[in-house]
C-alpha cells in the first residue's frame, strides 16, 4: 500500500471533521458499520449497496468532475438499451476509427481497417482495453446522420438523453469515450455510481467487465481470421477477491479514475473514485469497509503484460 504525507493529512482531517465522508447505517452487516470509515486520496468518492441503492460512503459526492474513459459505461449503456439489439450484428472497421485514436493519442483495441467485428466484440474492445476506436465504432453505428461526425454527435445526444432518463442531474457528455471536445464531459461520484448500477443490470455488460482478459476472432477484409487478445485495464480484477468490474479512466484533466464493484457473501457494492492516484488501494479499502474485511493491506495488484493498454 502506498502512503504519504497527503494521505496522513487526509486521515487526520477525517478523524477530526469527517473529511466530507457520510456514513449510512443499516445498509450492510453490523461488522461493516462498526469499522472506521477509511480516508481516500480521491478528489471525489462514492459507494453504494447495489441491491438497495443506499449510500455506504461519500466524499464530495455531488461535485462535478471530468471522468475520462469511465464515460464508456454510458456508451455501453446506450447501446445495450437499443430496441431489438442484435449483439451478433457485424460492423466493418473504418480507417477513420484508427485515425481518430492516432490523432487523440488515445487508448486503443487496435482494431484493423476492414475487419468485421460484432457489436458484442466491440463492447469487449471498448470495456477491456478501453478502446476509443471501438467506442467510436459503436457511436458511428448507433448514431443517426449521413456522416461519421453527424452520427457520433447524434450518439452523444443519446447519451445525454439517457442520463436524463436515469436521473443523473449532474452529468453531461460531449464525447463517446471521455476525450472531451468542449470541456463539458463531466459527472459526479454519485451519478457515476448510479450509472454503473444501471449498467450492471445488463447481463452482457456485467459479463464483459468482470473478465481480466478475452480472446476474440474477427473476419478480415480478405476473408481470413484475425485473433484479438484484449486485457482488462482494471487491475482490481484478479487482485481483490470478489471484484467483478467495472471501468478505469485516466487523462490529464481527470486524473486516475475507477468505477469498481465487488460481491462477497451475496452482497454487491459499487463504488467510484475520481482523480485518485491510489485508486486500486483506495478501492480495496472502501470494499473492506463495506464488507467488514481486511484485504487491502495484503492485496497484490494483477500485472498487465507488456504492450497491454493502460488506462
Clarify whether 69 is annotated catalytic. yes
Instruction: Give me the count of residues in the chain.
Output: 311
Taking the CA atoms of 287, 210, 81 and 255 in sequence, report the sign of the dihedral they define: positive
Clarify whether 72 is annotated catalytic. yes
Q: Exactly one of 39, 41, 50, 72 is catalytic; which is it?
A: 72
Q: Exactly one of 58, 130, 180, 239 is catalytic; which is it?
A: 130
The 3-state secondary structure of the chain, one letter per residue: CCCCHHHHHHHHHHHHHCCCECCCCCCCCHHHHHCCCCCCCCCEEEEEECCCCCEEEEECCCCCEECHHHHHHHHHHHHHCCCCCCCCCEEECCHHHHHHHHHHCCCCCCCCCCCEEEHHHHHHHHHCCCCHHHHHHHHHHHCCCCCHHHHHHHHHHHHHHHHHHCCCCCCECCCCCCCCCCCCCEECHHHHHHHHHHHCCCHHHHHHHCCCEEEEEEECCCCCEEEEEEECCCCCCCCCCCEEEEEEEEECCCEEEEEEEEEECCEEEEEEEECCCCHHHHHHHHHHHHHCCCCHHHCCCCCCCCCCCCC
Q: Exactly one of 39, 50, 69, 175 is catalytic; which is it?
A: 69
Written as nine digits, the cell of 301 is: 495488484
Clarify whether 54 is annotated catalytic. no
Residues forming the active site: 69, 72, 130
Amino acid at each position: 500500500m502506498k502512503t504519504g504525507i497527503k494521505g496522513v493529512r487526509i486521515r487526520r482531517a477525517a478523524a477530526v471533521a469527517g473529511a466530507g465522508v457520510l456514513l449510512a447505517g443499516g445498509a450492510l452487516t453490523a461488522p461493516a458499520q462498526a469499522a472506521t470509515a477509511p480516508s481516500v486520496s480521491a478528489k471525489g468518492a462514492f459507494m453504494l449497496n447495489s441491491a438497495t441503492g443506499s449510500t455506504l460512503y461519500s466524499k464530495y459526492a455531488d461535485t462535478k468532475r471530468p471522468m475520462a474513459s469511465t464515460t464508456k459505461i454510458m456508451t455501453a449503456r446506450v447501446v445495450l438499451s437499443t430496441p431489438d439489439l442484435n449483439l451478433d450484428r457485424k460492423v466493418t472497421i473504418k480507417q477513420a476509427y484508427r485515425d481518430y485514436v492516432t490523432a487523440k493519442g488515445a487508448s486503443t483495441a487496435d482494431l484493423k481497417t476492414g475487419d468485421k467485428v460484432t457489436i458484442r466484440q466491440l463492447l469487449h474492445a471498448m470495456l477491456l482495453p478501453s478502446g476509443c476506436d471501438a467506442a467510436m465504432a459503436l457511436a458511428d453505428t448507433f448514431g443517426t446522420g449521413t456522416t461519421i461526425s453527424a452520427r457520433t454527435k447524434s450518439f452523444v445526444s443519446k447519451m445525454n438523453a439517457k442520463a436524463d432518463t436515469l436521473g443523473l442531474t449532474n452529468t453531461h457528455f460531449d464525447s463517446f469515450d471521455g476525450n472531451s471536445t468542449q470541456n463539458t464531459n463531466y459527472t459526479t461520484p454519485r451519478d457515476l455510481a448510479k450509472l454503473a448500477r444501471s449498467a450492471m443490470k445488463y447481463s452482457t455488460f456485467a459479463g464483459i467487465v468482470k473478465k481480466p482478459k478475452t480472446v476474440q476472432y474477427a473476419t478480415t477484409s480478405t476473408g481470413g481470421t484475425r485473433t484479438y487478445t484484449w486485457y482488462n485495464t482494471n487491475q482490481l480484477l484478479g487482485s481483490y477477491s470478489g471484484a467483478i468490474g467495472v471501468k478505469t479512466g485516466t487523462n490529464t484533466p481527470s486524473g486516475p479514475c475507477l468505477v469498481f464493484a465487488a460481491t462477497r457473501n451475496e452482497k454487491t457494492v459499487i463504488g467510484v473514485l475520481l482523480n485518485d492516484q491510489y485508486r486500486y488501494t483506495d478501492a480495496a479499502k472502501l470494499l473492506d469497509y463495506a464488507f467488514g474485511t481486511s484485504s487491502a493491506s495484503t492485496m497484490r495488484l494483477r500485472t498487465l503484460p507488456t504492450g497491454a493498454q493502460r488506462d
